[in-house]
Amino acid sequence: MTSILEGIKVIDLTRMAPGPFCTMILGDLGAEVLRVEQPPADGGPQTSEQKKQAKRAAAFNALNRNKRSMAVNLRDAQGQEILHKLVKDADVLVEGYRPGVVDRLNADYKTLSAINPRLIYCSISGFGQTGPLRLVPGHDINYISVGGALSLIGNDGGPPIPPQNIVADFAGGGLHAAMAILGALFSRERTGKGQNVDIAMSDGSTYLISSMISSYLASGEVGRRGTTATAGAVPYYGAYQCSDGKYLSLGCMEAHFWEPLCKALGHDDFIPFQHDKSKHPEQFAAFTADFKTKTRDEWVDYLQNAGDIAVARILDIDDMENDDHVQARNLIMTVGEVDGETVKHVGFGPKFSDTPATVRSLGPITGEHTDTILEELGYSSDQASALRDGGIVR
C-alpha cells in the first residue's frame, strides 16, 4: 500500500468550502475522489481564453486536487440513475445540501444505503440534520455564533470579531467530517456495514471550544472575550508591532519563558510580577515601546538567540511562502504546471513516515471526466451523446 486510503472511492456532491476541504483531505490521503457537479446553466466556458482561464483556476485550486469531475443534472431521473450506478461500488459519499434536498434528488442515505449497505454517507450542514435550526440558512459567522465560539473572539468590551471562515467551515465542518469518515471506515472494517454521519458546523464549533466549556461547567463562570491570557489580555501573550509596521507574537506564559524575556528587554524588575494584574498596564506600555525600536525580524532574531523565549514572526501569507521553516516543512509546494506556468499548492498538514500524502493530479474543470466515467459505468458512446444532448450531463 502506497497511501492510507488507496482504493477507497469517494463521491463528492459538495460545493462550498467545508465539503471540498473534507474531500481534499481524503484525496491527499490516497482516496479516489469524484466530484459530481451540476452542469453550468450557460454551458461553461466558450471561448479559448475562457477555457484557458477555467483550466488555470482549476489547477491552482488546492481544494480540488486529486479529484475527477463529471457534471450530472441530479434533478433529472436519468441523472439520478447515473448517481445510483456510481454508488454501487463507492465507499464514501459526502453531501453538503440543506437538510431535505437530497430526498428530492433520490440521493438520501436510506435510498443509497439500500443500493450499497457498505456506504459511508456523510452530510455536512450548518446546524445538522435534526433540531429546530436544521432548515435555517447560514454561513460560518452564524454557525460559530450558535456554537459559542464567536462570543470568545474579540477584545474586552468590544464586539465579537469574525475570524475569517476558518472555525466553522474548515475546522468545525471539513476537518471534523474527514475525521468522522475515517472513523466510520475503520468501524466498517470491523462490522462490514456503512453508516450515516451527521456533521453540523455549529456542533463542530462547539466541539473546538471544549476546554472553555469545561471551565464553565465546572465553575459556572462565563468567560468573556479578551479577558483571558490566551486572548491577549496579558503582556506576555499577544501581538506587538515593530518599527517596520510588522508584528511579532509573544507566548511567554511560563516563568521559564517570562524571565529570559524580561532580561533580554532590560526589565528584570518585571520578573516577580508576571501575574500581578496591577502591573500589567506598565508592562504592556514598556513592551509596546520597546518593540517599536527595531524591526520585526531584528527583534525575533535577537530574542530567539537571547534565551528560551517563546517568540515568533507574525507572517502574512506572502511572507510565509518564503519562510525558512515553512519551506523546510514543505507547506508550500510545487505540484505541476498549467500551460507552462508553475502551479504551487498548500502542502500537507500531517506527515506520515510510510504512507505519505500525495498530489497525483491538479483540479479538473467541471465535467472534465464525464465521458470517461460514463464509459466506466457501461454507457455506450451513443448513450453518452444522448445524455449530453438532453442536458443530463456535460
Quick one: pLDDT band at residue 208, thresholds 50, 70, 90?
Answer: very high
pLDDT digit string (tens) for 58-114? 999 999 999 999 999 999 999 999 999 999 999 999 999 999 999 999 999 999 999
For the cut 90, the answer to whether the pLDDT of residue 366 exceeds it is yes
Query: Among all chains, which residue has been given the C-alpha cell 514543505?
Result: 330
CB 13 within 8 A of CB 87: no
Q: CB under 8 Å to 286, separation ≥6 — which residues?
A: 265, 267, 270
Nearest to 282 by CA among 238, 329, 235: 235
| Active-site annotation holds for 318 | no
Average pLDDT for 145-160: 96
Q: Which of 139, 267, 280, 369 is catalytic?
A: 139
For the cut 90, the answer to whether the pLDDT of residue 350 exceeds it is yes
Q: Which of 28, 91, 169, 203 is catalytic?
A: 169
Q: CATH code for 229-241+247-313?
A: 3.30.1540.10
pLDDT, residue 146, reads 98
Average pLDDT for 187-193: 98
Classify domain 9-208+329-389 by CATH architecture.
Answer: 3-Layer(aba) Sandwich (3.40)
Quick one: pLDDT band at residue 130, thresholds 50, 70, 90?
Answer: very high
Average pLDDT for 383-390: 97
CB 164 within 8 A of CB 143: no
pLDDT, residue 45, reads 84
Question: What residues does 123 pair with on adjacent strands?
Answer: 95, 198
Average pLDDT of the chain, as a whole number? 97
pLDDT digit string (tens) for 237-287? 999 999 999 999 999 999 999 999 999 999 999 999 999 999 999 999 999
| Active-site annotation holds for 139 | yes
pLDDT, residue 43, reads 78
Quick one: pLDDT band at residue 2, thresholds 50, 70, 90?
Answer: confident
For the cut 90, the answer to whether the pLDDT of residue 213 exceeds it is yes
Cell of 339: 500551460
Give me the percent of the chain exceeding a pLDDT of 70.
Answer: 100
Angle of helix 201-208 relative to helix 176-191, nearest 10 degrees, comes to 100
CB 28 within 8 A of CB 355: no
Average pLDDT for 189-201: 98
Burial class (CB in 10 A: 0-12, 13-18, 19+), 205: buried
For the cut 70, the answer to whether the pLDDT of residue 1 exceeds it is no
Sorted by where each begins, the domain ranges of the chain are 9-208+329-389, 229-241+247-313
Strand order in the sheet with 196-200: 67-71, 32-37, 9-12, 92-95, 120-125, 196-200
Burial class (CB in 10 A: 0-12, 13-18, 19+), 132: exposed
Nearest to 21 by CA among 181, 132, 247, 198: 181
SS3 (DSSP) at 222: coil
pLDDT digit string (tens) for 322-345? 999 999 999 999 999 999 999 999
For the cut 80, the answer to whether the pLDDT of residue 38 exceeds it is yes
